[in-house]
Amino acid sequence: MTPLLWSITVLASLVDGLLLAWLLLRKPPSRVGGARLALALVVTGAVFVLKAPVLAFVAHNGFYVVRLAYVDLVIVVPVVAALLLLAGRRRELARGVRLVAWLGLAGAPLGVWATFVEPKRLVEERVEVLVDPAVAPSEPLRIAVLADLQSADVDEHLRRAVRATLAFEPHLILLPGDLIQRRDAPDDIARAFHELVLPLTAPLGAYFVLGNTDHIELVRRALAGTPVRILVNETISLAFGGQTIVIGGAGELPSDPETREFVAEFDQRRGDELRILVSHFPDVLLPLDGEPGVHLTVAGHTHGGQIQLPFVGPLLTLSDVPRAVAGGGLHELHGRPIYVSRGVGCERMCAPTVRFLCPPEVSLLTVRAR
């Protein structure tokens, strides 16, 4: 974010905090009850809703509103809650108000976890994918998935993800997009990502499809001379375990006519070959119907929502697939198996770089006969 947006963030949060504190703690009366709490929350919420579209317009990014809401929840609310509890030494607080204040304090430690701990808590997911024996290789096929690194530069977190991917000893490595997220394309960043992906070798190769945050020229410079090959609406045939494996790499956007045509034609292929579709967006499967021709789709994009809640799942996925699918893991969509990775990185630019109950992942998919 720019210095101007940081300044606006601080100012907007101060306005929210001062308004909420004044509505709760102003005198009279000497007792803070549920009605006053409800009024304070409603008025402060209304002010936030009114200013949100204006600030999103200033930032040229809707994610900026998410950042403002997050700052309010993990900083403003806990601070006001602490002030309210301190005021409770001199003024009477209704039991429900006191309970809400204690709950509000929880925003601070949860914010520390979601901001500084979980985004770096890389986990390894291992999933078995069972396919028709007619198309299964004679030995299990190990596929490593390294999705959505989505960083402005290279750090130790990304290096750990690459090391974990190679530790799987995969036969095949798939990278379903969003390698880099930045607006400019400096040579030093291209070199840094080049060095990052240079070790990504596997017997059957490593294949990358473009994501919606990828600066295409920057990505091409970063991947040039590495083992990673970019696929854009094209296929490649591989031999493994006495079987032909066809990898189809979809284009960047599922709404693009060329991508829709490529995916439809790939799904219409028949024969005893194992067909694996790689797409940044899981949405590429939504237009498909009829007899499935794709045995496995590997996608990313959603980051699993980054924030998930118990019994609710992901709050925001930026995808039209069912939320359970967008939340990550192996699912079936329109009769077709799909694995959606939660990814390694986070949404950046104006968005808060946070994760909660949705840790970053590298994945090993083992494909074998059912």
pLDDT, average across residues 72-92: 92
Residues 63 and 164 in one domain: no
The answer as to whether 114 is a domain residue is no
Residue whose structure tokens are 């045995």: 295
At 3, the pLDDT band (50, 70, 90 cuts) reads confident
The answer as to whether 116 is a domain residue is no
Assign residue 292 the CATH number of its domain: 3.60.21.10
Q: Residue 166 phi/psi, 5° resolution?
A: -70, -30
At 127, the pLDDT band (50, 70, 90 cuts) reads very high
Distance CA 311, CA 331 (A): 18
Residues 58 and 146 in one domain: no
- List b or e across 184-208, with b for residues whose CB sees 16 or more CB atoms inside 10 angstroms: ebeeebbebbbebbeebebebbbbb
Tell me: cis bond preceding 28? Omega within 30 of 0 counts: yes
The answer as to whether 51 is a domain residue is yes
The answer as to whether 76 is a domain residue is yes
**What pLDDT does residue 89 have?**
81
Burial class of 113 by CB neighbour count within 10 A (0 to 12, 13 to 18, 19+): middle
* 3-state SS, residue 187: helix
Q: What is the DSSP letter of 168?
A: T
Residues 98 and 135 in one domain: no
Distance CA 114, CA 220 (A): 33
Residues 101 and 130 in one domain: no
Tens digits of per-residue pLDDT, 43-63? 999 999 999 999 999 888 888
Domain C-terminal end among 44, 72, 105: 105
* 3-state SS, residue 120: helix
Residues 84 and 132 in one domain: no
Range of the domain at 83: 3-105
**What pLDDT does residue 153 have?**
92
How high is the mean pLDDT of the chain?
95
**What pLDDT does residue 59 have?**
87
The answer as to whether 337 is a domain residue is yes
pLDDT, average across residues 201-225: 95
Residue whose structure tokens are 């500084």: 116
Q: Which amino acid is at 166?
A: L
Distance of CA 315 to the CA centre of its chain: 11
Distance CA 268, CA 89 (A): 71
pLDDT, average across residues 221-242: 97
Q: What is the DSSP letter of 307?
A: B
Cα separations in angstroms, 4 against 52, 54, 360: 16, 15, 30
**What pLDDT does residue 145 have?**
99
Residues 269 and 129 in one domain: yes
Residues 133 and 75 in one domain: no
Distance CA 340, CA 135 (A): 22
Cβ contact 330:127 at 8 Å:
yes
Tens digits of per-residue pLDDT, 137-195? 999 999 999 999 999 999 999 999 999 999 999 999 999 999 999 878 788 999 999 99
Q: Which of 43, 42, 37, 47 is nearest to 104 (CA)?
A: 37
pLDDT, average across residues 243-248: 98
Domain count, the chain: 2
Distance CA 11, CA 76 (A): 12
Tens digits of per-residue pLDDT, 310-332? 999 999 999 999 999 999 999 99
- Single pTM value for the model: 0.92
The answer as to whether 118 is a domain residue is no
Residues 167 and 94 in one domain: no
At 337, the pLDDT band (50, 70, 90 cuts) reads very high
Percent of the chain's residues with pLDDT above 70: 100
Residues 89 and 130 in one domain: no
pLDDT, average across residues 75-93: 92
Residues 94 and 193 in one domain: no
Tokens of 208: 């990358």
Q: Residue 22 phi/psi, 5° resolution?
A: -65, -45
Distance CA 69, CA 74 (A): 9
pLDDT, average across residues 67-92: 93
